Structure 1
Amino acid sequence: MLALEDIMRAKLRLEPIIEHIPLSYAPKLSKILDAHIYLKKENLQRTGAFKIRGAFNKIALMQERANNQTQKPPQDNAKNHAPTGVIAASAGNHAQGVAYAAQYFALPAIITMPESTPLLKVQATKELGAEVVLSGDNYDESYAKACEIAKKRGLEFIHPFADEAVMAGQGTIGLEMIAEQELDFVLVPIGGGGLISGIASAYRALSPHTKIIGITAKGAPAMRESFASGKIKNAAVVRTIADGIAVRDVNPLPFSYIQEGVDEILQVDDEEIASAILYLLENQKLIVEGAGAVGVAALLHKKLTLPKSARVGVVLSGGNIDVTMLNLIIQKGLVKTMRKFQFQVLLVDKPGALQTLSDLFVKAGANIVQIDYDRTSTNLAYGDAYVIISLETKGAEHKQSICQSLLDHGYDFKEIF
C-alpha cells in the first residue's frame, strides 16, 4: 500500500486549499438501513469534487522537488527541473483540480476531455485558466490525445489516478474520516482506482478492521471484473451516466493497490444511480453527480449486507452534474414514483369540454402542469380533439383514483407515462 507518511505529507500540502467538511450523519438513510450512515461530502470541495486533492499534491510535490534541485550543483538541475506547463486528460473533475493547482502555482495547463463532457465541466475548467481540447468518445481516447500533445510540447503529464502522488492526495480523505469517526465499512466509487487506492492505504495503516468496499457502474465494468478474476480485463465499451467513473481500461498500478487493500467491489446500474441522485437531492439537499452517488445507490438497493447498527462511511466524490442530466433524472424520477402523470384523452371539440375535464382534476386534487390541444390529427373524426395533459400527482394511490375518475366519467384516455 501507499506509505502512510506520503499521505500525511500530502495532507500538510493541502491544508491551505482544502475545504474541511466533517462527516455528515444521514438520519433518513440510517433509519432505512438500520445502520449509522455518514456522508463524506467531497461534492462541496471548491472545485466540486475530491480530485483537487491529488492534482494539487502532485503539482506541489513537483514544485518542491524542482526547488530542491536549484540548491544542488548545476549538473544535477536537469533531473528535476521546474515544469514549464502541465497537461491532463479528464472527464471533468480531475481537469478542474489540475487547472486550479496550475493556476495556484502560475503554470500553464492544457486539459483534454472526451467530446461528450458536460458543458458545465468544460466551462469551469476554462474559467480556471486552462486550455481545453475536446477529443475522443471516452477517457481513454482523450488520454491518448493528451500523451500526444505532452510529447509535442514538452509538458508534464498529470495522470488522474495512476500516480502515487495523486493517490496520496486522495488518501487524505481517509485520514480525515479516520480522525472523525470509527467506521465498520467505507464505500468508495471506483473509476480508474486512484481514490480508493489512497483511502484504502490510509485505512490499512490506521484502521485495518474497516472494510473497504468499492462501487463501480455496470456500464463501466472493467475494474470489477478484473478484481473478481485477479487479472486485468479491459472493457470493450463504456456507457454510464456516471461519467466521472466511466473508465474503459484498467491501469496496473491502482489495480495492484486495489487487489491488496479492497475487500469487495459491487456494481450499480444507471437506474439505481439516478434514484440515488434524486434521493440525495430530496432527502439530503445535496447535488451529487452520478459517480458521487454510487455508494448511496448501493445502499438504497441493498447491494451490501450490513450488520445491524453498522457504522458506514460513504464518499460522495463529486457534485459536478450537468443541469440537463439532472433535469432528466428529476423528471424520470417523478414519473417512476408516480408524482407525474401524462396521458392523452379524446374530447368532443365543443365549448366547455375542456373546462368539464379540468373540473374533474380540481375535484381530484391534481395540478395541471401542461396541456397540448390537437384537433387536426388525421386519426381524429371530425368534431373530435386529442388533449395531452401532464399532471402533478401524489403517488400510486392518487394516480389510480384519477384514472378511475376518468373511466367513471366516460373518458377515452391512453397513458403516455
Structure 2
Amino acid sequence: MSTQASGNGLVHDVLIVGGGLVGASLAIALDAQGLDVGMVEAAPVGALPPVFDQRNLSFAEATLNALQALGVLALMRAPTGPIRRIHVSRRGDFGRMLLDAQAYGRDAFGRVVVARDFGEALEARLLQLQRLTRYRPARFVGLGESDEGLRHVRIADANGERTLRTKLLVAADGARSALRDALGIASREHDYGQTLFVARLRTQRAPDGTAFERLTDHGPTALLPRGDGHYGLVHGVPREDAETVAALDDAAFLARVQDAFGWRAGRFLSVGERSRYPMLGCVADALVAPRAVLVGNAAQSIHPLGAQGFNLGLRDALTLAECIAEHAADPGDDAVLRRHAARRQEDRSRTIAFSDGLARLTSNDASLLRPLRSAGLVAGDAFGWLQGWLVGGAMGYRGDVPALCRKVAA
C-alpha cells in the first residue's frame, strides 16, 4: 500500500508536486513501470483535494480508454452519463450544429463523470500502489541546490521542513503553480471576465445522452447528461454580475438559466448546491526545465468551453510516462524531456487555440460577427469533413496521442 513518508533527503525517480486529477493519474501510470515515485499532496489522509467537488467532468473516449487501462474506471461506484450527441447553438444566431456518435460508429463520444466520484476512484487506485510514497498533508516550499543528476526540493509538513531529491520533478500543482514560478518558467494569463456557476439540475425531460452547449454574449450555458438522471449545469455570467447571481434564490436562478438556455430540455425543475469559479486562462511559456516538467493546469489552464481541460492534462501525463518508459534509466534526462515537449506540441497548441478561439468568438456580441457565427454553425452541421475534425478533438484524438488512449487494455 502507499505509505506516509518520513525521513529527510529521500531520493525518488520521480517526484510529483500536486495530487489532483493529473498528478494522481501520472503516479498510477508510473507505478506500472516499477519506478520509485513520490507525491506531495496538500490534502490530509482521508480527505480529497478541493478539485474533487460536485463539478461535472466530460471525459473523451480517449480518456476513458486510458483510465480503464490504468485500473481506475473499474473502481468508480457512481453511474456515468454517456454523451451520444453534442448540440451547439447560440442565442440570437440562426443555425445549430448537431454531432451524433452513431454517425461515427460509436455508441458515445465520451461520458460525464462527477469529479468527487472520480476522485474517490483515483484514491482507491492509489491505495493499491506498491511503490508510491505520499507526503500529505505537505506543501512545496522551494528548490534547493541541485546535485548532478538530482533536483533538491524543499517541502513542509506537520514535522517541519525536509529536503527530498529526485531525478525528475513534476509540477502538477494547478494553474497558480508555485513550482512553475520557482523553476523560472513564465506564463501568459488571460482573464475571460466570466464566472462559471456549476450545479446539478433536474429538468422536465430526463437526459437522453445529448450534451448541450448554448452560447450567449455573456458566456456559455452547458447541460451535460449525468448518470443519475440529472444534468450537470455550467452557467457563465459576466464577472461583474457574479455576486448578484450568487445571491439569487433557487427559483430566480432557475429562471435566469432557463432564459439563457431555452426549452430544449423542457422546464427546469430544481437545482442543487451551486459552486462558482472565476474563468482565468493561463499558458506556460515552456513545458520543461532541467530535470523538471509541467503537466495539467500547471502547463495550461484553458476555458472549459469544449470540455478539453482534464482530457488535455491526462494526455500530458501519459505522454510523459511513455517517454520515461523509453529511457527508464534516467527519467529526468534531457532527451526524455525534449521528446516529451516535442510530442505535446501539436495537441497542446491546437487544443488551446480551439478552446480559446471558441470562447472569444462566441462571447463577442459584435453584430458584424453574427453572420460568421451562424455560417459556422450551419457549416459544422452540413459538412462531414468539418464534423470529423471536431469529433476527433472531442473524442481526444488530436495530434500524437498516447498509446493507452487509443485502446482499452485487455
TM-score category (smaller protein): under 0.3
- Identify, as 1 or 2, the structure richer in strand: 2
Q: Which has the higher helix share?
A: 1
TM-score by length of 1: 0.23
- Ranked by relative contact order (alpha carbons within 8 Å, sequence separation 6 or more), the top structure is 2
TM-score (ref. length: structure 2): 0.24
Considering only CA atoms, is the larger Rg found in Structure 1 or Structure 2? Answer: 1
